[in-house]
């Protein structure tokens, strides 16, 4: 990476109380938008509207990137922020705890949706494998199960 690109990606350090107040305000604004986006995504996934939830991916990624950058900037200037704006920093820390709870709920909903969809795909795949295997009896008098190695691959069309 050249120095010019590095200079573009490095945020300016906070050195004054005014810069600290501005950074905290920016971080609060970013968190407002990110909380709204994450809550909307959670609602859409819970409602089974996965395509609608996917539409929020780009916005959520951009906001998460901005949140990380601004958080690191405030964290790097914690001494300036705590000296100049101790109440604002305390409110910001409390807000982060609430935000973590929202993210935990979002991650739980996403993990549940992933587990359910994986279960459905595995069930369909197993049913297809069962139908394709011959219905015969083994040496012990019981029906034989299809070998997992002999299973046919399953293709899923996302355009349907």
User: pLDDT of 75-130, one tens digit each?
Assistant: 888 888 888 888 998 999 999 999 999 999 999 999 999 999 888 888 887 777 77
- Determine the straight-line distance between the first and last CA of the chain, rounded to whole angstroms: 43
CA distance 49 to 103: 19
DSSP letter assigned to residue 143? B
- Is a pLDDT exceeding 90 seen at residue 136? no
CA distance 144 to 139: 9
Nearest Cα residue to 31 out of 107, 120, 79, 91: 91
Buried b (16+ CB within 10 A) or exposed e, 27-46: beebbeebbebbebbbebbe
Residue the block writes with tokens 């405030």 = 74
Q: What is the pLDDT of residues 8-63, one digit of tens each?
A: 566 778 888 888 889 999 999 999 999 999 999 999 999 999 889 999 999 999 99
Given pLDDT bands bounded at 50, 70 and 90, which one contains residue 133?
A: low
**What tokens does 150 get?**
């002999």
Given pLDDT bands bounded at 50, 70 and 90, which one contains residue 1?
A: very low
Residue the block writes with tokens 């905290």 = 24
CA angle 73, 77, 83 (to 5 degrees): 140
CA distance 143 to 133: 11
CA distance 160 to 157: 6
Number of other residues whose CB lies within 10 A of the CB of residue 52 = 14
Instruction: Using CB atoms within 10 Å of the CB of residue 92, give its burial: 0 to 12 exposed, 13 to 18 middle, 19+ buried.
Output: middle
Residue the block writes with tokens 């000296």 = 83
Mean pLDDT of all residues in 62-70:
94
């Amino acid at each position: 990476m050249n120095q010019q690109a590095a200079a573009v990606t490095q945020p300016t350090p906070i050195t004054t109380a005014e810069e600290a107040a501005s950074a905290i305000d920016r971080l609060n604004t970013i968190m407002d938008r990110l909380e709204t986006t994450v809550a909307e995504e959670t609602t859409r996934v819970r409602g089974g509207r996965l395509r609608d939830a996917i539409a929020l991916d780009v916005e959520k990624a951009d906001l998460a990137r901005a949140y990380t950058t601004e958080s690191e900037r405030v964290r790097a200037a914690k001494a300036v922020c705590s000296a100049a704006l101790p109440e604002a920093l305390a409110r910001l820390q409390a807000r982060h705890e609430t935000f973590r709870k929202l993210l935990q709920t979002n991650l739980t909903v996403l993990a549940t949706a992933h587990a359910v969809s994986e279960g459905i795909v595995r069930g369909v795949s197993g049913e297809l494998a069962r139908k394709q295997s011959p219905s015969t009896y083994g040496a012990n008098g019981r029906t034989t199960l299809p070998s997992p190695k002999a299973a046919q691959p399953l293709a899923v069309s996302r355009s349907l």
